[in-house]
Structure 1
């Protein structure tokens, strides 16, 4: 039975203030569970994002034969895995339902592709609309077979291979998900698997693979394009993983703190992987008062506490080559641009068309409904900020997209009239407790009766 929709509304109120921690990084959480399921021995994961997306990955790892347990400790939840070893996953008895987890589904296809087993993957209505061919096509080069709906969409049946061939593949479009799926497939492949990127993408997989004992080398193609070479069939060894706060989740309270008058707030323990800091660099160029303190390394990832103070922002030109470092943050960046003075042009956003929703078109439609001057030219999103609060007064159809939902709730905190979203259920996929956390800072967000 489908749960009823959850309509939420955000209104302008007082200042935002406080010190908070956001949920664990979703990308790292998925990878920690998958590599823990392949490692020999015990893996302990603290700070895991306990959103619906990651819980689906945990359930899939159990279905594939790994031991996955959760315990409460004085420091918070601790997840413990006992893995099967590289090549040791067993055939699942049931369909693997990944819910809304696009990252989980694509990475899981990489794991399954080089195991001699049969599996079927499905997801919710939003995930079933998302194209998977850009993952299944290169994974097929290892020898795996995929059968899905038109356009390579879920549900997809996977027939993995027990005699995988090493692959050298050049990504036509920069994508950390596709790169990671290929590297995961390469784990159970004799020989060296090489992935070449048009531009570098986030390297969570490479860092965590190294943390668990895999051997990777940086390489380059004949034209100098960067790449990663993975030596196949390593023995991964269980390891402790501390998951930092997700920078994509931290983006929402940080931008809210910059936009809401008289606000000052701190988000503790945010991951600052160099391939994830595009939004922070962009906000700094817009004039944001943003400070990083207590910088440290946890689980192989750089981490810091981030403090923002309200102040004026100005429009800028955001280059296309920054997109891989902030692809999930464009909806909330567009909200920041709506509150800025001047025009912000965000270039090269074609990837947004194939996220949980068409985020490029959806962001433009939502901003326009709230009285913001906005246009799309090719793959560029252009927002004309007036330096004053947008009109608001609209209900935004977010198409079960968690980042769209949170972005427009932040917009409602500064708009002249309240901004509502038609359904906030998907927020829990990446940011459980978002509304309570924001209201704890002073935001006015509530359910629509």
Structure 2
């Protein structure tokens, strides 16, 4: 439980933790590559630690030295069936991507997760993998699942039916680990970290518009990976800097991959003043980001930008409570399938603070600007890290005391979040 109060300003220079999506993928590709992969700035969080433990259960040696994580890979043949049930905790990314990897590697495994993860749909991965030869049994498309040794087709053709990079990556990993010729069509332009990193590990990846093609029998080689700061984590401080007057805040070395930086595009459309100073990088593009207090305006948010900002929508909704006019967010039904139903949880919790917000089937209607108010008001993150962090930022612009009942959920992606907050608040 955290007691939170309004801030007069935020001042400081911070570096956010390593990108969660990239951290997962670096570990997985290092595990199926030949040689020792060295990962700098790997995110130390519950979800990424889950991926690390699962790979170790599959026979991969992973060690830590200061800020360097070493993954000793012996190719796909170096993996073996786990001796124990694989517990994915609360990590949807671990579950879906590793399902593809395990299926492609021809392993046997049983997968479980916590109560929240066990309610999330896994059939979106199970079905396309089953269509190309995977043998997976499940609990009506949910966990627990059992993966039986599978022999995939030599050629995989898949068109992404939903805007999910996890589904796309599961199929790509299954193709690479099985040696199949693999083609995936992604009209949604979901985050492309898997494609970018496969190339970094030496795979031949051809991109032709929405079509991603990987020839058969790829052999990955160890790489040195520097994980940039997570823009999903940075988004909370960016919005805080926009909403808290007299702030002087810079976020260093943030990943600004165009398939992930929809939050910057949206905030710019809302009249936000955000300075982006890009840096040279061999892998993912990075930048220092400086937000300035801004008078925001309402906009409509829908369509192709949604997959590029789906994890940032809760904090975008908070920004919209201070924007002049009516903000409408559509095409975001994927929010219902996150760690919580984020359409319901965002709406419920911000209403407690006086926000004028309505939930819709696929998004929100928000009227602003509204001065949020609390009287020792209890709010809940619903065991969802992004909801808990959004509510914490909301407290910085709320008159009165806000009490966050489940602050420990931030450990999923940002264990040092409250420590950083304490350094920034003036």
Question: Do they fold alike, i.e. is TM over 0.5?
Answer: yes
TM-score by length of 2: 0.97
Q: 8 Å contact 1:179–1:195 — kept in the other structure?
A: yes
Provide the residue aligned with 1:429 in structure 2.
412
For 2:111, the equivalent position in structure 1 comes to 121
2:152 & 2:184 partners in 1: Cα distance? 20
The alignment's C-alpha RMSD in Å is 1.4
1:175 aligns with 2:149: no
Q: How does 1:342-421 map to 2 (within 5 A)?
A: 342-386=325-369, 388-393=370-375, 394-421=377-404
Q: Give, in whole Å, the separation in 2 of the partners of 1:130 and 1:275.
A: 24
CA distance in 2, matches of 1:266, 1:116: 46
1:191 deviates by 3.8
Report Cα offsets for 1:243-265 as digits up to 9, x if no partner. 00000000111111111111120
The question of whether the paired residues in 1 share the 8 Å contact of 2:372 and 2:397 is answered with: yes
1:285 has 2:285 as partner:
no
Structure 1 residue 148: Cα displacement = 2.0
Partners of 2:180 and 2:101 lie apart in 1 by: 16
C-alpha deviation, 1:87, in angstroms? 4.2
Determine helix, strand or coil for the equivalent of 1:244. coil
> Aligned equivalents of 1:114 and 1:319: distance in 2?
35
SS in 2 for 1:125: coil
Paired residues for 1:303-318 under 5 Å: 303-318=286-301
Q: Would you say the 8 A contact 2:154–2:181 is kept in 1?
A: no
| Structure 2 segments unaligned to the other structure (5+ residues) | none
CA positional deviation for 1:347: 1.5
Q: What is the rounded CA distance, in whole Å, between the counterparts of 2:308 and 2:334 in structure 1?
A: 12
Q: Which residue of 2 aligns with 1:3?
A: none
Q: 1:40 aligns with which of 34, 38, 42?
A: 34
Deviations 1:59-109 (A, max 9, x none): 11111111100011xxxx110011120343210111111211111111000
Deviation of 1:369 (Å): 1.7
Offset, 1:42 = 1.0
Map of 1:447 onto structure 2: none
Matches within 5 A, 1:143-222: 143-150=133-140, 152-219=141-208
Match of 1:133 among 123, 127, 146: 123
TM-score, normalization: structure 1? 0.92
Q: Tell whether the 8 Å contact from 1:38 to 1:83 is kept in structure 2 after alignment.
A: yes
Counterpart of 2:280 in 1: which secondary structure?
strand
Q: CA deviation at 1:164?
A: 4.1
- Give the 3 Å change call, closer, same or farther, for CA 172–162 of structure 1 in structure 2: closer
The SS at the match of 1:275 is: coil
Query: Does the CA-based 8 Å contact 1:320-1:346 persist in structure 2?
Result: no
Alignment check: 8 A CA contact 1:409 1:420 kept:
no
Moved more, 305-314 or 394-403: 394-403
* Aligned residue in 2 for 1:338: 321
Q: CA deviation at 1:165?
A: 3.8
- Counterparts of 1:281 and 1:296 in 2: how far apart (Å)? 21
Superposed counterparts of 1:76-87, under 5 Å: 77-87=67-77
Deviation at 1:50, TM superposition (A): 0.5
Alpha-carbon offset, residue 426 of structure 1: 1.7
Report how far residue 294 of structure 1 moved.
Answer: 4.4
